[in-house]
Structure formats: structure tokens, C-alpha cells
Amino acid sequence: EYAEFLHCKSKKFTDFDEVRQEIEAETDRVTGTNKGISPIPINLRVYSPHVLNLTLIDLPGITKVPVGDQPQDIEYQIREMILQFISRESSLILAVTPANMDLANSDALKMAKEVDPQGLRTIGVITKLDLMDEGTDARDVLENKLLPLRRGYIGVVNRSQKDIDGKKDIRAALAAERKFFLSHPAYRHMADRMGTPHLQKVLNQQLTNHIRETLPSLRSKLQSQLLSLEKEVEEYKNFRPDDPTRKTKALLQMVQQFGVDFEKRIEGSGDQVDTLELSGGARINRIFHERFPFELVKMEFDEKDLRREISYAIKNIHGVRQVAMRTWTGLFTPDLAFEAIVKKQVVKLKEPCLKCVDLVIQELINTVRQCTSKLGSYPRLREETERIVTTHIREREGKTKDQILLLIDIELSYINTNHEDFIGFANAQQRNTQTNKKRAIPNQVGHWLSSPPTPAALGSSPSSNRGIPNSDPGGSSSFWDTLENPHRGKDPLHLHSGGFKAFQLPSQPSFHSGKWDGGIGQLVTSIPILQTENEDGAQENTFSMDPQLERQVETIRNLVDSYVGIINKSIRDLMPKTIMHLMINN
């Protein structure tokens, strides 16, 4: 009898005490002396006339709480190590569980069930049967009634720690185990199917059967690998390292293969399809149709700021002629305000467009690196190939970004309000009107702004219309006409940068009806949304609009929304085409 370790091939161990010491010494060398772990196995081969042909992999038990030098994720590491071995279809799983523990809580059976749900490869082993509480036994488990396994359960009684420390002989331990099963009332009827010797025979027999079952598939797998290798050998059969023509040919073949691999990864017809994650062309496609549109949506502007900008644009375009803003038809032309706001929004497209190019470039470079992995045997060739292709990609990057910026500049150069999808000014106003109808303003001012007040509401009789300044010789004007249209007479109200401004009428107004004397000033100053003149400019901090300006802002807001939508649609379509033509296809 002797033993050999893979890490010391030249040495034969005949003393098995030395074998135990070498296992402990090798464990300390690999993992340290403070309970560390390592997935590197210690390979030990034992030759003896008293053992059966059997390959056994002894895996660690699950550790829940790290001790000593063990890492914090010790449980995860051990679990992954165990799964690495038991997941193989060609292996049998020996699920060892102590009898004095509830079988339903067995980590070994739980993990075995994960990789072998039908229990076809799992053999249950129950230990510590001699340590169960009095009056209890594992008979139901061993008879395969509690948690059935196709290959059943086998009970064993090992040496205790005291026996191991006292160096109790294995033969004596096996005899004691046999005596335990024959003498125990719960197990004596199945004693011939219990114990370590029976376990050895079962393992040997089942492993032999298992190998016989898995051999056909293993043979076909080996044959396909052999054919692949023979084909590769054929390519190099006449290869002479010193022949420069062979070197050149080999170089060209590898570079051509790189080109083919790159194209396949981009076009999506690769021979090795990745089933774990998106790669190559699929990732670029996702950038085009998911990431880039998302970046455009993320660019959404703040509604309040946009409305403020539109109102400032309207006011600034009219400059000192602020009074002209009050009528939409004829005197108010929103073109300049609309164009100014649209151009500002279009310029914002540059950032997501350039970011899209950067994302595509990163994917191209990643794809290049994946394709050059086959050149790993020739590091200089791989490095040079990556450098040349990456440099070319960077050159194309500049041209692509220039073209994309040109596309945006083209959009800025001409605002096409005749576009078939553009809603137009009339539709924008109509949509504005519909929106306003839906808004119910629950105060008197809102009611007055939607319909002219009756003379009675203003403290006047119909006959007192004569007291209201009127440029209409027909005398059909009302106070609301004066309020709405500044060109129908002197209006006590006018628009200012902060919205409505109220001015108290002079103490001797030009009205001839006593009922109106001072009444208009009081009425106007009582409207909550109006502001009195503040010389110190404090009204600039409070953003408020009169209803007429608000309607104009809403109309331009609708126009901007429509036109920016058209631009976004166009850019979403042109970006992938531009990048494909100037960068990827190139």
C-alpha cells in the first residue's frame, strides 16, 4: 500500500501518518494557518489491494459565519466551489447529513436538489446514528420514506474525535460499526445494507453504471473535439517556422479572420452566439433605439422656465412698444419669439447626439478587443491590430461628429413652418383655446376674463355707456372693449414687464357719470392678480402674466412642442444612419 500526491510526484508515501501530515502541511501552504480556504484541490492517489477503483472529491461543509482569516463572503465562496463540482452531469453527489439534525434543514440535500432536482445522481449518507437521542432513530430516512432519493440512503458510524485522537484502528472502527447495526433494534433488519464497506461497494457499482450511461455522450463529444483538432493540425502540418512566405500567409489569414469575426459580431451572424449578454451589433442597436431616445427624453426642459423664456422673448422682441403686444392679430407676430425658442431647444440636441457617438465608439472598441482575443498567441500582432483599428475608429469619430453637428446646424439654418407635420399657428391657437376651456378658474377675475362683465357688474346702467371713452361712433363699445383693446380709447390698464399694472384714475376722471367716478380704479385695484407699480423693480422677481400674454405664451408653447417633436423624429432617424455610414460600415 502506498500513496502519491500530485504536488510531489516523485515521492511515494508508505506511512499513512505522513500522508495525513502532508495534507495538513499543503493546506497550510495554500490557505495559511488560520482557517483560510482555497478552491485548489489537493490530489491524492492511494494504491492498495483493499480498496476499490473510485475517484472521490472531498468538498468542505458550508460555513455560515467567517472565523479566523476567512473572508466575509465565506458562505458564498464555499457554495460556488461546491456547485462547480456537483453541477457536472458526469458526477455522482454524495449528500452527507448527520442523523441528529433535521433532514429538512440539510444544506447538502438542498444544494444537491438544486443541480439534481429529480435525485438521479444523488446518494444520501446518514452519519452519527450512534449519537441520536434515546427513543429516536433514522429508520424512516434509511428506508427512503421521508425524503426519497432514487439511489436511496446508506447509514454509517464513523470514528469519534476521541477515537481519531487516540488513533483507533480503522479495522476496529469497522467492526464496531458492524456490531452497532446488528445490535440496534431499528436497524438490524437492514444491517447488510448499512455501513462503510457497503457504501464502498455501492459507490463502486453505481459509479461504474454511471460511467457506462454517460460514456456514449462523452465519446461523441471527444470525437467532435478530435475532428476539430485534426482539422487544425492539417493547417499547420506543412508549417515551417523559418519560411517567410508561410509567416506572411499566416499573418494575412489571421488578419482576414479578424475582419470576418468583426463583421459577424456587428451583423449578428457569428458562429458563437453569446447567450449570457448582448454583444457587438446588438448592443449598438440598443444604443440607437433605446439609449439615444432615452437621452433625448431626459433632455426634457422645465415647463416653468420654458414659459418664462417664451414670455421674455415676446416682450424683448417688442421692446419699448409693449402696448402692441395686447392684440394677437395684426400687431403681434410670434415668428421671432417662436424661432428664438426653437433654436435654443435644437442646440440642446448636440450633447445627446455626441454622447450617442461616444457610446457606439466604446462598443466598437470592445468588439475589436473581443475579436483580437484569437490573436492571443501573438501579443505584438494583437497589440498592433488593436492600435491600427482603434486609430481608424478615432479618425472616423471626428468626421462622424462633424457631420452630426452639421445636421443640427442645418436644422438651425431654416425653421420650416410649412412642414406637413407642423400644427401651424391656427391649430396652436385652437389647441390653446381648448386647453383654456378645460381650466376652470374659480374666481371673479377668471369669469370676467372669459366673458365681458355686464354694466351692472361694473356699477353702471346700460345708459351710462356714454361715460366710457369710445372711439366707435356707433356707441356700441363697453368697458370690456376698452380693457381688451388699447386702440379703442384711453385704457386705465396697460401691460408691463410684470403682467397687469393698475393705476388709480385721477381724482377728476374724464367720465361724466357720477357712478363711474373713481369706480374703475377701485375695481381694477381689487383684482387679486394685478400688481401696483413698484419703482424699486421688485416685481421682476415675481413671474406673473396677464391672460392675453399667457394665451400668446401657450400658443407659442404649442408651436415649439410640435416643431421640436418633428426635429427629434428626424434626428432619431438620421443619427443611426449617419453613424452606420460614416463609422461602422467604413
pLDDT of residue 456: 41
Name the DSSP class of 362.
H
Nine-digit cell string for 548: 392675453
Q: Could you report the per-residue pLDDT of 537-561, keeping only the tens digit for each?
A: 444 444 556 776 777 777 777 788 8
**Domain 274-433+546-585, CATH class in plain words:** mainly alpha
The H or E element that residue 3 is part of is strand 2-5
The pLDDT confidence band at residue 423, using thresholds 50, 70 and 90, is: confident
Mean pLDDT value of segment 219-237: 88
Q: Which candidate, 324, 311, 328, places its Cα nearest to that of 498?
A: 311
Whether residue 450 has pLDDT greater than 50: no
Lowest-confidence region among 102-116, 301-315, 467-481: 467-481
Top-confidence range, 58-62, 171-175, 424-428: 171-175
> Do 336 and 317 form a contact (C-beta atoms < 8 A)?
yes
Read off the amino acid at residue 272: Q
Nine-digit cell string for 249: 500567409
> Do 501 and 533 form a contact (C-beta atoms < 8 A)?
yes
Whether residue 233 has pLDDT greater than 90: no
Q: Could you report the per-residue pLDDT of 80-100, keeping only the tens digit for each?
A: 989 999 998 888 899 999 998
As a residue count, the chain comes to 586
The pLDDT confidence band at residue 218, using thresholds 50, 70 and 90, is: confident
Of residues 429 and 475, more confidence is placed in: 429
Top-confidence range, 156-170, 234-248, 307-321, 425-439: 156-170
For the chain, what is the mean pLDDT?
76
The pLDDT confidence band at residue 482, using thresholds 50, 70 and 90, is: very low
Whether residue 459 has pLDDT greater than 70: no
Q: Is 532 helix (H, G, I), strand (E, B) or coil?
A: strand
Q: Alpha carbon 111 to chain centroid distance?
A: 30
Domain ranges in the chain are 1-78, 88-236, 274-433+546-585
pLDDT of residue 434: 62
Distance (Å, rounded) from C-alpha 327 to C-alpha 491?
14
pLDDT of residue 505: 38
Give strand pairing partners of 500.
495
Of residues 153 and 248, more confidence is placed in: 153
Q: Alpha carbon 34 to chain centroid distance?
A: 40
pLDDT of residue 169: 87
The pair phi, psi for residue 127, each rounded to 5°, is -110, 175
Q: Is 33 helix (H, G, I), strand (E, B) or coil?
A: coil
Whether residue 458 has pLDDT greater than 50: no
Mean pLDDT value of segment 365-370: 90
pLDDT of residue 452: 45
Q: Is 508 helix (H, G, I), strand (E, B) or coil?
A: coil
> Do 367 and 262 form a contact (C-beta atoms < 8 A)?
yes
The pair phi, psi for residue 3, each rounded to 5°, is -135, 150
> Do 95 and 108 form a contact (C-beta atoms < 8 A)?
yes
The pLDDT confidence band at residue 161, using thresholds 50, 70 and 90, is: confident
Q: Could you report the per-residue pLDDT of 98-139, keeping only the tens digit for each?
A: 998 888 888 899 999 999 998 888 999 999 998 888 888 889
> Do 404 and 578 form a contact (C-beta atoms < 8 A)?
yes
Distance (Å, rounded) from C-alpha 512 to C-alpha 491?
16
Query: pTM of the entire structure?
Result: 0.41
Fold (CATH) for 88-236: Rossmann fold (3.40.50)
The H or E element that residue 425 is part of is helix 424-438
Cell match 416682450: residue?
Answer: 315
Distances, alpha carbon 4 to alpha carbons 42, 59, 399, in Å: 11, 20, 66
Mean pLDDT value of segment 548-576: 84
Q: Which candidate, 136, 246, 152, places its Cα nearest to that of 190?
A: 152
Top-confidence range, 92-106, 424-438, 453-467, 506-520: 92-106
Mean pLDDT value of segment 162-182: 89
Distances, alpha carbon 193 to alpha carbons 142, 184, 196, 328, in Å: 10, 14, 10, 101
